[in-house]
Structure 1
Amino acid sequence: MTDSDSAADWMTAYQERLERERTEARQAMGKACDALDELGVTAVRIEYDGYGDSGAVEGVTATGPAGDVAIPADLREELISAAERLLPDGWENNTGAFGELVLDVAHRRLTREHNWRVETSEYDEEVWEL
């Protein structure tokens, strides 16, 4: 086995693990919808922000027809854990990214509204004859 074979095997295993984790996260979100529905929640917004090689879920807001709905701490933690596994690779690195995941409980639909921060540069040159 060559080093490139070993690297390819590692990358394949890594990609398979990521896909498995993301599948489990989507299933967890679907299961959470049942509990949220019982609490009268119609939507959940999970905000995140990352840069400089770190990132975090900044807030979880659950709403129903009458406004904000308090959700149990264990359910909140399940939502955060699932959300973190669904964020794209590198969202917390360098200039990072921010956004939110919006869970539509009734339709069992999760939307990621994601913003990559982009750093640009513009070249400028001046030449002086001395």
Structure 2
Amino acid sequence: MTTDTQPTARLRTAPREDAPSLMLAAVCAAAVLNGINTIVVTYDGCGDEGQMHSIVLQGPADEDGTAPELAMPEMPCTSWSVPFRGDAFEVDTTFAQAIDDLGLEMLAQKHDGWENGDGAFGELTIDIAARKAVLEHSVRITETECFTHEWGG
């Protein structure tokens, strides 16, 4: 889920390896303001393309344990962005874009190339209260069996 809003760069920078933690903190801070308890992001990639497919926001569970799905709030969010090369830098963006960027950066740091070949798919679950993200990642692999046969001679 992306928006047409272009992020505005700020002056603060951080090493790229710190970006997922900084981005997670920013997303969690914004989620708390909107009563969001859990964020679930699904993604899929293949054929040298990959994208976040859905972002589901859940509120607090009711008495029977069912957590209602919430609408994506239209709100600004201060988060972090990572260029192709270089350090992370603080940006003003949207909440939806901050979530998308967080998922893409976590994938880039742990499973770079996830969109190539047969691709990979998975789910990123963010527990807002715990300020914890769990990435469940599955890789598609095409297997090849080779046989050699020789006759004569």
Out of 91, 96, 99, the residue aligned to residue 79 of structure 1 is 99
Answering whether residue 62 of structure 2 is matched by residue 39 of structure 1, we say no
For residues 31-74 of structure 1, the C-alpha deviation after alignment (integer angstroms, 9 at most, x for no partner) is 21121112111110111111111111111101012501122242
Q: Is the contact made by 2:125 and 2:135 (CA closer than 8 Å) also made in structure 1? A: yes
Provide the TM-score with structure 2 as the length reference: 0.65
In structure 2, relative to structure 1, the CA distance for the partners of 1:52 and 1:20 (3 Å cut) is farther
In structure 2, relative to structure 1, the CA distance for the partners of 1:79 and 1:22 (3 Å cut) is farther
Provide the TM-score with structure 1 as the length reference: 0.75
Q: Which has the larger radius of gyration?
A: 1
For residues 106-129 of structure 1, the C-alpha deviation after alignment (integer angstroms, 9 at most, x for no partner) is 100000000000111234567789
Answering whether residue 75 of structure 2 is matched by residue 53 of structure 1, we say no
Secondary structure, aligned partner of 1:102: strand
Q: Is the contact made by 1:26 and 1:82 (CA closer than 8 Å) also made in structure 2? A: no
Cα distance between partner residues in 2 of 1:112 and 1:47: 10
Which has the bigger relative contact order, CA under 8 A and spacing at least 6? 2
The runs of 4+ residues in structure 1 deviating greater than 6 Å are 125-129
* Amino acid paired to 2:24: M
State percent identity of aligned pairs. 31
Cα distance between partner residues in 1 of 2:103 and 2:46: 17
Cα distance between partner residues in 2 of 1:37 and 1:126: 65
Q: Is the contact made by 2:34 and 2:73 (CA closer than 8 Å) also made in structure 1? A: no
What is the root-mean-square deviation in Å for CA atoms of aligned residues? 2.0
In structure 2, relative to structure 1, the CA distance for the partners of 1:115 and 1:43 (3 Å cut) is same
Which consecutive unaligned segments of at least 5 residues does structure 1 have? 1-18
Which consecutive unaligned segments of at least 5 residues does structure 2 have? 1-13, 61-66, 75-93
Q: Is the contact made by 2:48 and 2:117 (CA closer than 8 Å) also made in structure 1? A: yes
Cα distance between partner residues in 1 of 2:42 and 2:16: 20
Cα distance between partner residues in 2 of 1:79 and 1:22: 17
Q: Is the contact made by 1:22 and 1:85 (CA closer than 8 Å) also made in structure 2? A: no
Answering whether residue 64 of structure 2 is matched by residue 69 of structure 1, we say no
